[in-house]
């Protein structure tokens, strides 16, 4: 059974991706810090087809050993979905240096390290799928999200060069850029700001985590065998 590692799978988009991967028949290694009732119910429903691996990505130095453990316990992964991230907001002039450093560490350094170490098994298998979760904010910009936006643009840049590097080994690397989704990350957005985001969409709707998870499902599938180095935007037309 193909193994897919999904980071930040305890809630929000990552949880929806884990659920979709299970429906698609993969074995899921769900990574995060805190078990949730929703993830627990997936563990109950799917038994051995899903495992929770606790890890805090603020510990970048431990990612190598963590990746080695994952491969030992679950085998070389077919897919890696780099989804875990934080969305700390604030205008740059007053954003604390430690918040800036944390955004860079969790959103960039950690997925780069995890990819580096899980890629080894994919190179040995001569196949694999890597999906990096970015955001439409990487290309549109959003007041108060300059550092977050920079990390999300970095993710898309990482995708492009890595796709070139590993293409010969039949490994695809793609970016998913979702529009605004109602998750814990965006729960602080005021009603009127949410309304203005909703108004930007031609359909007047926000992206759902399920919509975004369907795109991940496609990128992991055989049908996407020749799709690499690109960004798929799922945003209900907000950036059209």
Ligand X SMILES: NC(=O)c1ccc[n+]([C@@H]2O[C@H](COP(=O)([O-])OP(=O)(O)OC[C@H]3O[C@@H](n4cnc5c(N)ncnc54)[C@H](OP(=O)(O)O)[C@@H]3O)[C@@H](O)[C@H]2O)c1
- Residues annotated as catalytic are 148
Strand, helix or coil for residue 83: coil
d(CA 140, CA 18) in angstroms, rounded, equals: 28
Smallest gap from Cβ 32 to ligand X, in A, equals 3
Smallest gap from Cβ 123 to ligand X, in A, equals 25
Smallest gap from Cβ 11 to ligand X, in A, equals 5
Smallest gap from Cβ 170 to ligand X, in A, equals 26
Smallest gap from Cβ 177 to ligand X, in A, equals 7
Q: Which is nearer to ligand X, 58 or 205 (CB)?
A: 58
Give residues with Cβ within 8 angstroms of 78, minimum separation 6: 2, 3, 4, 26, 122, 125, 127, 128, 129, 220
What's the number of CA atoms in the CB half-sphere (13 Å) around residue 153?
A: 12
Helix locations, the chain, DSSP H:
12-23, 37-46, 63-74, 97-104, 110-125, 137-140, 146-166, 191-200, 209-220
Q: Which is nearer to ligand X, 137 or 166 (CB)?
A: 137
Q: Which is nearer to ligand X, 184 or 210 (CB)?
A: 184
Q: Which is nearer to ligand X, 16 or 71 (CB)?
A: 16
* Interface residue list for ligand X (CB under 6 A): 8, 10-14, 32-34, 55-58, 83-87, 106, 133, 135, 178, 180-181, 183-186
Q: Cβ-closest residue to ligand X?
A: 12
Contact 79, 220 (CB under 8 A): yes
Q: Which of 78, 99, 104 is nearest to 89 (CA)?
A: 99
What's the number of CA atoms in the CB half-sphere (13 Å) around residue 229?
A: 11
Q: Which is nearer to ligand X, 183 or 230 (CB)?
A: 183
Full DSSP string of 88-154: ----GGG--HHHHHHHHIIIIIHHHHHHHHHHHHHHHHT-EEEEEE--THHHH--TT-HHHHHHHHH
């Amino acid at each position: 059974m193909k193994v897919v590692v999904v980071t930040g799978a305890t809630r929000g988009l990552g949880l929806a991706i884990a659920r979709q991967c299970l429906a698609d028949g993969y074995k899921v290694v769900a990574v995060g810090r805190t078990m949730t009732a929703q993830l627990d119910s997936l563990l109950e429903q799917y038994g051995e087809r899903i495992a929770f691996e606790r890890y805090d990505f603020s510990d970048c130095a431990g990612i190598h050993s963590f990746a080695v453990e994952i491969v030992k316990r679950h085998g070389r992964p077919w897919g890696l979905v780099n989804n875990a991230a934080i969305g700390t907001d604030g205008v740059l002039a007053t954003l604390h240096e430690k918040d800036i450093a944390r955004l860079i560490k969790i959103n960039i350094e950690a997925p780069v390290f995890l990819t580096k170490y899980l890629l080894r098994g994919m190179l040995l298998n001569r196949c694999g799928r890597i999906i990096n979760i970015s955001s439409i904010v990487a290309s549109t910009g959003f007041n108060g999200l300059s550092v977050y936006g920079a990390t999300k643009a970095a993710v898309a840049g990482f995708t492009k060069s890595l796709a070139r590097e590993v293409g010969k080994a039949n490994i695809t690397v793609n970016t998913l850029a979702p529009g605004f989704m109602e998750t814990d990350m965006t729960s602080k957005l005021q009603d009127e700001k949410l309304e203005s985001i909703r108004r930007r969409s031609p359909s007047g709707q926000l992206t759902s985590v399920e919509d975004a998870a369907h795109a991940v499902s496609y990128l992991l599938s055989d049908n996407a065998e020749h799709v690499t180095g690109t960004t798929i935007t799922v945003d209900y037309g907000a950036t059209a």
